Amino acid sequence: MENTNKKLEILCINVNSEYFSSVRRDNVVMSYSKNIQDLKTDKYDILIYNHAFDNQSEIDKLKKMNIDGNSVIFVSKIPFEHSKKDLKRIGINDYHEFDLEKEDDRNNFLELFKKIITEKMEYKNTSIFKKISDKFKNNFDEKAIEDILKNLCVEYGIRNSSALFKKSENDLIFISLDETRFDQSSNKKQFEISLFNLTKKMAETTRENVVLLNQSKIREIYGENNFFDDVASDEILKINFLKFRKKFYGAIFFIIDDKTQSDSFITNLLDFFSDQISIHNEKKFLYEEIKIGSSKIKALHNVALKIEKGDSEFEVIKLGEEAIRSILKYDHYTFDIVEGDVFVVKADSFEGGVNISNYSLDEPGIATKVFKTKKPYLSNDVQNDPEADPTSKLFGSAMTLPIGNIGIFQAISYQKNAFSDLDVEFTELVISSIGEVIERMRKESEIKYLSYHDSLTGLLNRTFLSKEYNSIDRFKKLPMSVILGDINGLKVINDAFGHSFGDKLLKKFSDIFNNCCRNTDIIIRFGGDEFLFFLPGITEDQAIKIVNRIEKECEKVEDLPIPLSIAMGISVKNEKNQKISELIKNAENEMYKKKSIYGLIARKKIISILKEKADEVSKAKGKNLHFIKELSLKMAEKLNFTKEQKQLLEKYIDLHEIGEITMDRNINLKSEENYTEEDWGIALRHPVKGYSIARANDETVNIAEDILSHHEKWDGSGYPRGISGEKIPLNARIVSIAEHYEKGLLGRSYLNPVNKDKILSDIKEKSGSSFDPELVKIFAEIV
C-alpha cells in the first residue's frame, strides 16, 4: 500500500527507543510495539524487527504490510531456515541481521538505519517535488500558490509561515498560513505593509534570492513585540524572494532551526517551490513574449510595406508614427529631422502648452547625444533623470531613438516605467525602416538632381533636355519663347584669371538668370558658355524685356574685375507644328548676329581691362613702357619696318607681359635671382598664360606668338620653350634688348640704376647669348 503521509513512518518491534537517541530524525515518526500481531495499522515505510520469527501468522502479517525488502532490518538472528524461504516468498529478498548486544553490530545497525532513512526520504521528496511541478503545469495563479503553501504547512508543520505577493503598488495580498494567529491580531494590516516594504527593499538591494534574519535582526526591524516574538535564539526567519527579471514578485517566509534544519527537507522543499514559481513565470513570460512578438512582427511587416509606398518624407513619417502607435502606448511623440546644423521638428503631437521648437545640434541634451552616438536612450523617470530636461512636469517616461543619419524620434508617456527594453527593440525596427526609406528617397532625389542638373550652376543640363525634349516640344501653353545666350570672352577670362574665376562668373550668371525668370521657366546650361531658356506663355516682346533685364543686371555687377557680357538670341513658337530644333537654330542665328556686333566690343573691352591691369603690374615694378617703346621703334626704323609692322610692335610692347596679371604680385616685385623654386614654377607659366589670352581674341591673335617668346634667349637658354636664334620672333628679340637697357638705366624696386655706358657694355657682353648680335649692333648705334 502506498504511504500517502509526507512524514517517514518507522515501526520498531521489540526494539528499545534508546538505540535511536543519537540519530537526527527530521520528518520521521517512530512507532514501537511488542508484537507484530498487536498492530492495528500497516502503513509503515520501514520495519525494525527484534523478535523470534517462528510462526506462520507473523509471516502472513508481514506479507500484508507490503514492506520493501530494503526497508526491513532484523536485529536478531532468524532462527529457522524455512523462515528465510518464507521471507523470499513474500518478496523480501534483501534483509539484514544484527546482534544489538555487540558494539560493532550496534554501530553497523545505526549506520544502516540512517542510510535507509535518507534513501527513503529522497524517494518521497522526489515524488513530492514532481507533484508540485505537475500542479504548476496544470494551474498557476495566486490561488494555486496559496493552496500548495497551506498544504505544505499543514503536512510538514511549518511554524509561523506566511507568503506575500504584490498585485500593484496599492493593493497587496497577504496569505496567512496560520489564520488563527494573524486573524486575531489588530495590527495585521500594519504588519503586512511593514513586511512588504522590508521585503521589497531587500529584494531590490540584494543580489541574492534568499535572506536569513536571526532573532536580534527581527527585533531590530519589527520591535520587541512582533509576530515572530516566539522565535528562539537558535531559529532563523528565512525569506525566499520571488523575483522575475529583476522585478519583485513576492516572498515566502518560514522559520528554520539554524543548527538542524539549514539543509532539511522542508527548507529544500520551499526552495524548490520558489524556483518553480520563477521557472513558471519565465515560461509564461516567454510564451507571451513570443505570442506578442509574433503578432507585432506581422504588424511590422505590413507597416514596412506601407512605409515603402510613401510618396514624401512627411508621409513616411506619418505612416511610421501610426505603426509605432499600434505597438507602443505613449501620450506624445516628436520627429526631429536634421537640416544643416539644426534639429527641425517635422511632426509632433503637441498642440500647445509645451515648448517644442527647433534646436541646434550643438545644444547639450539627450536628443543630440542619441543622434551623435546612434544609440537609443530610455528614461523611465525623466523628472529624476540628471540627463533629461523635461519641458513638462507631467512627463514620466521617454524613449529617444536615432533615425539613421537624419534625426531622432521621441516617445513620451505621463506614466513612470511606461516602456520596456522590448518596446525599444520593436520601435527601433519601425524607426530603422523609416530612416532607410527616407535616406533612400533622398539618395534617389540627389541622384536624379545630379543627373538632370549642372553641378556648377545648379541649372538644368543637356541630359534633362534629351529626356524631356518631346515634352517641351508638346507644350500646349503658347506662345513659347526660346532664348539662347553665349557669354562673351569666357575663354579669355579663364586664361587671364583662371578657371576658378570663370566658375565664379558662371555662377553669377546663373543667379541673374534665376532672378530674371519665373519658377516655371526652364533654364538649361546648354554648353560651356551657352545657356538655353524655354519660357512658356511668353511673347517675343516679353522675351525682349527679359533679355534687357538680364543685360541690365549684368551691368550692375561691380564686384568682379571685368564686366559681365552675354549675347542672346530670341525665337518664338506660336504654332504647334513648329519644332523645338528649329526654334533653337533660329535663336542661335540671332545670338551669333549679336555676338558678331557686340561680342567684338566686349572682347575689346576685356583686352582693354587686361592691358590696364598689365600696366598696373609694370608701374608697380617701376617699368617705363613709353621709353621701351621709343627705343624699340628706333630699332624698327633702322630695320625698315612698315607702318603696320610698327603698330603691331607697339601693341606687342603694351601687352607682352599680360600673362603677369595671373601671377602673385609679390613674385612680380622680386628679382629673378631671388625666386624660390615655387616662384619659378609660377613665373615660367606666365608667357603661356599671356599667349592663351592673346590667342582668344581676334585683336591680339597676331601677337600671341611674340608674347609666348618674350623670355626666350638667342642661345636657347630662355623659357618657356627654349627656342634659339631667328626662331624667336623678331619683335620679341627687339623688345628684349630695349627692356634690358631700360631696366638697367632706370632701375627697379629691387634694383638700383647704373650709367648708360655700363648697361650698354653689359648688353654687348651678352650678344650671342641672350641677345641677337645683329640687333645689338643696331641698338648700339641708336643710343
pLDDT in tens, 117-161: 777 776 666 656 666 666 655 555 656 666 666 666 665 555 544
The CA distance from 469 to 481, in Å, is 15
pLDDT digits (tens, 9 = 90+) for 538-575: 999 999 999 999 999 998 887 777 778 899 999 999 99
* pLDDT exceeds cutoff 70 at 530: yes
One-letter amino acid identity for 591?
Answer: M
The amino acid at residue 180 is T
Per-residue pLDDT tens over the stretch 190-225: 555 566 666 666 656 666 667 777 777 777 766 666
Q: What is the mean pLDDT of residues 700-704?
A: 89
Are the C-beta atoms of 782 and 635 separated by less than 8 Å? yes
For the cut 50, the answer to whether the pLDDT of residue 64 exceeds it is yes
Q: State the Cα–Cα distance between residues 43 and 64, nearest whole angstrom.
A: 10
Categorize the per-residue pLDDT at 256 as very low, low, confident or very high, splitting at 50, 70 and 90.
confident
CB 485 within 8 A of CB 591: yes
User: How many C-beta atoms lie closer than 10 Å to residue 110's C-beta?
Assistant: 15
Q: Could you tell me which residue, 353 or 516, shows the higher pLDDT?
A: 516
Q: Which amino acid is at 172?
A: L
CB 591 within 8 A of CB 568: yes
Q: Which three cell numbers stand for residue 119?
A: 534513501
Q: Give the pairing of strands 377-379 and 480-487.
A: unpaired
C-beta of residue 47 within 8 angstroms of C-beta of residue 69: no
User: Cell numbers at residue 138, please?
Assistant: 496544470
Cα→Cα distances 597→568, 571, 593, Å = 12, 19, 7
Q: Does residue 767 have a pLDDT over 80?
A: yes
Answer yes or no: are the C-beta atoms of 570 and 483 closer than 8 Å.
Answer: yes
3-state secondary structure labels for all residues of 227-238: CCCCCCCCEEEE
Round to whole Å and give the CA distance between 586 and 482: 9
Q: Which of 427-436, 611-620, 704-713 has the highest mean pLDDT?
A: 704-713
At 313, is the pLDDT very low, low, confident or very high (cuts 50, 70, 90)?
confident
Which parts of 309-461 fold into alpha helices (H)?
313-327, 366-373, 421-452
Determine the Cα–Cα distance for residues 591 and 485; give it in Å rounded to an integer: 7
How far apart CA 738 and CA 635 sit, in angstroms, is 9
The model's pLDDT over 493-511, given as tens digits with 9 standing for 90+, comes to: 777 777 888 898 899 999 9
The three-class DSSP label of residue 48 is: strand
Rounded mean pLDDT of the chain? 78
- 705, pLDDT greater than 70: yes
Q: In terms of DSSP H, where are the helices of 168-312? A: 179-183, 188-205, 215-222, 265-308
Give the pLDDT score at 355: 55
Overall average pLDDT of the 367-372 stretch: 91
* Terminal-to-terminal C-alpha distance of the chain: 149
Residue 451's pLDDT band, with cuts at 50, 70 and 90, is confident
Secondary structure (3-state) at 663: coil
CA distance linking residue 722 with residue 476, whole number of Å: 64
If phi > 0 it is left, if psi is from -120 to 50 it is alpha, else beta; for residue 53 that is: beta
Q: Which range, of 257-271, 585-599, 655-669, averages the lowest pLDDT?
A: 257-271
How would you classify the pairing of strands 46-49 and 72-74? parallel
Give CA–CA dist 353/369, Å, rounded.
26
Sheet strands side by side (includes 566-573): 522-525, 530-536, 480-487, 566-573
Cell of 321: 508614427
Cell numbers 587671364: residue: 496
Query: Which grid cell sits at 189?
Result: 494590516
Q: Does residue 186 carry a pLDDT above 60? A: no
Place of cell 524455512: 82
Is 289 a residue whose pLDDT tops 70? no
Whether a cis peptide bond, with omega within 30° of 0, leads into 479 is yes
Give 19's Cβ-side CA count (13 Å radius). Answer: 26
Q: What is the pLDDT of residues 624-651, one digit of tens each?
A: 888 999 999 999 999 999 999 999 999 9
Query: How are beta strands 359-360 and 210-213 bridged, if at all?
Result: unpaired
Q: Determine the pLDDT at residue 184.
A: 37
Average pLDDT over residues 58-71: 63
* pLDDT reading at 412 higher than 80: yes
Q: Give the side-chain half-sphere CA count within 13 A for 715.
A: 6
Rounded mean pLDDT, 17-38: 75
C-alpha grid cell for residue 375?
544609440
pLDDT over 70 at 185, yes or no: no
Percent of the chain with pLDDT over 90: 26
